[in-house]
Amino acid sequence: MLSKELNGRLLTNDSNSASGQVRGVEVINMNEVAGALRPVVLPGEKLVVRLVKPGERSVAGIGFLEDGTMVVVKDGRAHLNEEVEFPSPMFCRPQRGG
């Protein structure tokens, strides 16, 4: 493995990859790095997001936080293409992937 020969590290986005660790190479998982860099948002904290499309429910609007997390804003459809402030719900971000 080239990274072992060069005394380097293996950078991956494959959360199931253990081949580097098995071969004695330090593995850096980009999904874990991205998760560690996401800001902590407490339930009830005010967030601002631009609503970019309608939600599946007739009154919802969908927007995306800076880190790519999708949020659905109740009663947001009337505010499409606008920035809206809303209280953060308690939500779970996926540990793997986007």
Q: 23-48, pLDDT tens digit by residue?
A: 677 888 888 887 777 777 777 888 89
Q: Strand 46-54 and strand 26-29: pairing? A: unpaired
**Buried (b) or exposed (e) across 22-53, using 16+ Cβ within 10 A?**
eeebebebebeeeeeeeeebeeeeebebebee
pLDDT of residue 45: 84
**Predicted structure pTM score:** 0.55
Segments of the chain with pLDDT less than 70: 1, 3, 15-23, 90-98
Count of other CB atoms within 10 angstroms of residue 17: 13
